[in-house]
Amino acid sequence: MANALTIAGSDSVGGAGLQADLKAFEAVGVHGCSVVTAITSQNTQGVSSIFPVPASEVASQLRSVLEDVEVDAVKMGMLFSPGIVKTVAGMLKRSRAPIVVDPVLASTTGSSLHAEGFVDALVTRMMPLATLVTPNIPEATRLSGVKVKDERSAKAAGREILEFGPKAVLVKGGHLRGSEAADYLIDGKRTVKISSPRIETEIHGTGCAFASMIAGGLALGLGLEDAVRKAKGMMFKAILARETVGVGVPCANPLAVLRIEAGKPQMLEELERAGRILESLMDSQLLPEVGSNMGYAVLGALDEGEVAAFDGRITRVGTNARKVGCARFGVSKHVARIVLAASSHDPETRCALNIKYSEANLAACRKARLRVSTFDRTKEPKGVSSMTWGVHKAIEGRAEVPDIIFDEGGRGKEPMIRVLGKDPQEVVSKLRMIIQRVPAR
């Protein structure tokens, strides 16, 4: 079992601090050890008091862990005082474990989480030991002296922080504007942009959990970029699965990936059940020449492997429909791209089914009062995924993802209608509405 150590403050509401760190370690698949640096009295609305643990007691905790456990990675959270920084840095100076430093200066609710002299101690004592420093935009601005307001200034701030001695800096762009939440990994040789769809909401505990997930990945032996990418995808799911714990800011749910993984068998059962219904509903008037398929993505899916579909499609046998193969994850790039593009606009839209394009079928969609949008394949740029580009184009300018996206085809491309919904049951329900309004066959 790989072991990761968090050195951080305690959050009494359990949404951030070492409580979030330990959940994140568990989600990644490593054992979590902890050293408490401060006891905070806080909830989802703010911090009411901070009781720093004496540096000697921090040292005692850390010594107990290091004497007994082979630590594979360390995550630094709230260290609070220059005395604690100096104590911890001194004891980790000879450690070979990668160290991820989350330079915690304030809580999500805006409360200060450090004492006078802390920043100078962090910069001079801790950062030279760091494998990675993970500042958010306010922290990057404070540490670098660069006012971060866009991608260019974020990279500039990262390069300035790199001068303090860490091997790499991850400037987290969650506070910037745009359709993506982009982070910038800077190591002095290159800058890598790592993105996920933006979720416009304030969440408690994201910085703590993200840094801990990265540390967990490093503990498992992942390279730095791979560890960051994996953590980025996990955090997207943790934010989507946020929990309303109190009356204030919702808390990120670092364990979301485990719950999502546990739900995959049920998703496959739902898809198989829908497949049997589709066999009874679909015929030659609804089945395209290339066949149909239904895709169903996990919450927060970011790649094709997180989308389930039928590995042999739904094909026409005579005038009837037959499901070929079983529901599996990662077996259909085509329908997966449709679902992934739609869910990047609305995470609740996780399912899609393609059916035959005809004027009668399209008219039935409109008669059913389903929301319809389209894209023109003749305007498709070179070098892009047709489905990814087409779905984004169809959704562009709309306040919500439509129920139906169609196109009239192109050279070598069959025209198609796609039915979108939150799950297979909803998509089948919409298909029934369409069938009821198609002229008698």
| Confidence tier at 418 by pLDDT (50, 70, 90) | very high
Q: What was the pLDDT predicted at 398?
A: 85
Chain mean position to CA 160: 27
HEC profile for the chain?
CCEEEEEEEEECCCCCHHHHHHHHHHHHCCEEEEEEEEEEEEECCEEEEEEECCHHHHHHHHHHHHHHCCCCEEEECCCCCHHHHHHHHHHHCCCCCCEEECCCCECCCCCECCCCCHHHHHHHHHHHHCCEECCCHHHHHHHHCCCCCCHHHHHHHHHHHHCCCCCCEEEECCCCCCCEEEEEEECCCCEEEEEEECCCCCCECHHHHHHHHHHHHHHCCCCHHHHHHHHHHHHHHHHHCCECCCCCCCECCCCHHHHHHHCHHHHHHHHHHHHHHHHHHCECCCCCCCCECEEEECCCCCCHHHEEEECCCEEEECCEEEECCCEEECCCHHHHHHHHHHHHHCCCCCEEEEEECCHHHHHHHHHCCCCEEECCHHHCCCCCCHHHHHHHHHHCCCCCCCCEEEECCECCECCEEEEEECCHHHHHHHHHHHHHHCCCC
Pick from 62-71, 72-81, 147-156, 173-182: least confident: 173-182
Question: Rounded CA gap, 411 and 361, in Å?
Answer: 22
In the CATH hierarchy, which fold is given to the domain comprising 263-437? L-fuculose-1-phosphate Aldolase (3.40.225)
> Contact 72/4 with Cβ under 8 angstroms?
yes
Question: Rounded CA gap, 363 and 119, in Å?
Answer: 64
Residues near 8 by beta carbon (within 8 Å), at least 6 away in sequence:
17, 18, 21, 34, 35, 36, 37, 75, 76, 77, 78, 79, 104, 208
Could you tell me which of 336, 369, 330, 333 has the C-alpha nearest to residue 350? 336
Task: Go through the chain and tell me how many residues it has.
Answer: 441
Question: Rounded CA gap, 224 and 21, in Å?
Answer: 18
Question: Rounded CA gap, 399 and 346, in Å?
Answer: 10
Mean pLDDT of 382-405: 91
> Contact 419/353 with Cβ under 8 angstroms?
yes
Largest CA distance in the chain: 83
pLDDT for 58-90, tens place per residue? 999 999 999 999 999 999 999 989 999 999 999
pTM of the complete model: 0.91
Mean pLDDT of 321-335: 95
pLDDT for 196-210, tens place per residue? 988 888 899 999 999
pLDDT at 439 over 90: no
Pick from 16-20, 200-204, 207-211, 324-328: least confident: 200-204
Q: Read off the tokens for 294.
A: 């239904």
Q: What was the pLDDT predicted at 109?
A: 61
CATH 3.40.1190.20 residue ranges of the chain are 3-255
pLDDT more than 70, % of the chain: 98
Specify the higher pLDDT residue, 108 or 428. Answer: 428
pLDDT more than 90, % of the chain: 84
pLDDT at 174 over 90: no
Specify the higher pLDDT residue, 5 or 180. Answer: 5
CATH 3.40.225.10 residue ranges of the chain are 263-437
Report strand pairing: 372-374 vs 404-407. parallel
Mean pLDDT of 217-242: 97
Could you tell me which of 204, 174, 175, 202 has the C-alpha nearest to residue 44? 204
pLDDT at 179 over 80: no
In the CATH hierarchy, which fold is given to the domain comprising 3-255? UDP-N-acetylmuramoyl-L-alanine:D-glutamate ligase (3.40.1190)
pLDDT for 278-289, tens place per residue? 999 999 999 999
Question: Rounded CA gap, 211 and 75, in Å?
Answer: 7
Indicate left, alpha or beta for 117 from its phi (over 0: left) and psi (-120 to 50: alpha): left
HEC profile for 187-232?
CCCCEEEEEEECCCCCCECHHHHHHHHHHHHHHCCCCHHHHHHHHH
User: What phi and psi, each to the nearest 5 degrees, are found at residue 86?
Assistant: -65, -40
CB atoms within 10 A of CB 172: 25
